[in-house]
Amino acid sequence: MSKSLLPGATLGVMGGGQLGRMFVQAAQSMGYFTAVLDPDPTSPAGMVAHYHIDTDYLDEQGLAQLMQRCDGITIEFENVPSPALVTLGAHRPTSPDADALGVCQDRALEKAHFKRCGVACAPHAVIANEAQLAAVPAALFPAILKTSRMGYDGKGQVGVADLAALPAAWAALGGAACVLEQRLPLAHEISVVIARSAMGVVVGLPVQQNLHRDGILAVTEVPAPDVPEATRQQAFEAAARVADSLNYVGVLCVEFFVLDDGRLVANEMAPRPHNSGHHSIDSCDVSQFELQVRALTGLPLVAPRQHSAAVMLNLLGDLWFARGDVPRAPDWAAVLALPGVHLHLYGKTGARRGRKMGHLTVTADQPAQARDVARQAAALLGIDPGLVGSAA
């Protein structure tokens, strides 16, 4: 990737979800043409891109078309099949590359990589066969069993109280390759979104503090209200080391736990922009999606500056249902009457409980103001206002 791909070029993205949509929107606003490969003819990104190729991710003709159209290609979800990225990478600049993707697709490899970089992660054991199951030490419990691959939003995870409960838990996950992690005493959850160029320049968004409900991100606050500056710096440096040692080019998010005793522990990483970085569209002068465009095209990476305090609320499909599963329309007009509210809906038809339909970012001069308005917006929409400012 020595030559920059300048505006006017066509950028492709594997995957048509909301992250792809916001990448496409950022690329278009910078003067790029865009193409999306996603089998769903109504995918959120496919509907706004210049070109939509609706084949399977491994379809040879689909991949050939994408390469024909595009000067550079990125991804918007980590489960893009590796062989597809290998094929694309042989002919076009791709960011990230298939090697980095391979590490991010597998929790066991991810944790091994954290360790290699000197980044602490939860005590854990890999369970891919009966012998490994039998060798699990009792000291790991209580624990969480997570499938090594394909998990997201808390899916593919079960809590395991003790050693005796482990075989049934593993069976419940289909005997798939898993990582068993000690359940840690979390004080807070934070994430860092960074971008790294082929030249090794690393820039990042301000550290985000995240609150999850039922395994799904509910609220992000920036600046992180409860995390000392030294811990934020440590998180940024750890994320940069993780990227450097993968020779990573693109946007990478690393999720961390801050433990009750203040220690920082890496949880997992995503080889793409992240839900917790969505606030940057409205709160920073360079968004995570613009960073993705810049990293892919080889344009300069400049450090984003946060100009407003922000609270982001995820808008799940639950908001489209009143009690008793009666369909309803959220009162957007009421919410948009509040100051500093930025509504982002992803164009998904068919609300379902737990489905990410959009997000709402509240910006303000001061964090307390942003929180106050976010609580009002939450109340209007049927989100528990108590979630805002309670990140733990």
Nearer to ligand ADP, 63 or 184 (CB): 184
Nearer to ligand ADP, 300 or 354 (CB): 354
Nearer to ligand ADP, 197 or 267 (CB): 267
Asked if residue 4 lies in contact with residue 297, where contact means CB atoms within 8 angstroms, the answer is yes
Q: Report in angstroms how near the CB of residue 52 gets to ligand ADP at its nearest.
A: 27
Nearer to ligand ADP, 146 or 279 (CB): 146
Q: Which string of x and - marks every residue 137-156 that binds ligand ADP (by CB under 6 A)? A: -------x-x----xxxx--
Query: What single string gives the DSSP state of each residue in 5-29?
Result: --BTBEEEEE--SHHHHHHHHHHHH
- Residues between 119 and 138 that touch ligand ADP (CB under 6 A): 122
Alpha-helix residue ranges (DSSP H) falling in the chain: 18-29, 60-69, 82-91, 98-104, 107-116, 130-134, 166-172, 229-244, 280-283, 288-297, 332-336, 367-381
Q: Report in angstroms how near the CB of residue 112 gets to ligand ADP at its nearest.
A: 16
Q: Report in angstroms how near the CB of residue 145 gets to ligand ADP at its nearest.
A: 10
Q: What is the CA radius of gyration of the chain?
A: 21
Q: Which string of x and - marks every residue 201-230 that binds ligand ADP (by CB under 6 A)? A: -----------x--x---------------
Nearer to ligand ADP, 198 or 216 (CB): 216
Phi-psi label, residue 335: left if phi above 0, alpha if psi -120 to 50, beta otherwise:
alpha
Q: Is 106 in the site for ligand ADP (CB under 6 A)?
A: no
Nearer to ligand ADP, 100 or 121 (CB): 121
Distance from C-alpha of 207 to C-alpha of 233, rounded to nearest angstrom: 9
- Residues between 228 and 267 that touch ligand ADP (CB under 6 A): 255, 267
- Residues between 161 and 190 that touch ligand ADP (CB under 6 A): 181, 183-184, 186, 189
In the β-sheet with 10-14, what is the strand arrangement from edge to edge?
A: 51-53, 33-37, 10-14, 72-75, 94-95
Asked if residue 30 lies in contact with residue 7, where contact means CB atoms within 8 angstroms, the answer is yes
Q: Which residues bind ligand ADP (CB under 6 A)?
A: 122, 144, 146, 151-154, 181, 183-184, 186, 189, 212, 215, 255, 267-268
